[in-house]
Copies of this chain bind each other. A is one copy, B any other.
Amino acid sequence: MAPDPTRTAAFRREIRATDPADIRRIVESSGYFSREEIEIAVELIDERIARGDASGYHFLFADSASGMLGYTCFGPIPATESSYDLYWIAINDDLRGHGLGRELLTRTECIVGEMGGRRLYIETSSRGQYASTQGFYTRCGYRLEAHLKDFYSQGDGKLIYVRDLTGECAR
């Protein structure tokens, strides 16, 4: 049996020139995201490369020897004191179910806490197709705080999850 690449993942925060192409590959691999959503995912890393910290977008990457396995994109919400958004969390589709998503999310929460964030918000779709995503956030300690009905389109609402990070990260 081939070794599980998620067991030996290396985490990094610095940006590489190859990241936009890897992010596109990972986000496309899921089959979940629309063309427009994929372009938004790539725009965020492009914006980060162009403007650095001033972009407001921060990243955490999980790499194997053969390439990027997954990543998160997060940042402070403007005009709030200590609220952060998780803009993206994505894992290469054939690596799902190995705990890498949870590890990326936990490590992201620690980074956000160190940056002064007190709560992390995550938005997702209310559609049944996202049931596993919704369950993942609940298992990771997130609370469903709002449901904006028909937000994305008729029958496709926006769910807003939040986790209070105070004291959550001890390492």
Chain A residues with CB under 8 Å of chain B are 34, 36-37, 40, 77-83, 118-119, 121, 145-154, 160, 162
Partner of A153, one of B40, B82, B146, B147: B82
A123 to chain B, nearest CB (A): 10
Number of this chain's copies in the assembly equals 2
Complexed CA–CA distance, A139 and B85 (Å)? 31
- Given the complex of chains A and B, what is the CA–CA distance between A115 and B35 in angstroms? 22
> B36 and A78: CB pair below 8 A?
yes
Once A146-B145, A146-B146 are accepted as A-B contacts, the answer to whether A153 and B37 lie under 8 Å apart by CB is: no
- Please give, as numbers and ranges, the residues of chain B lying within 8 Å of A152 by CB-CB distance: 79-81, 83
**Chain B minimum-CB-distance residue to A162:** B148
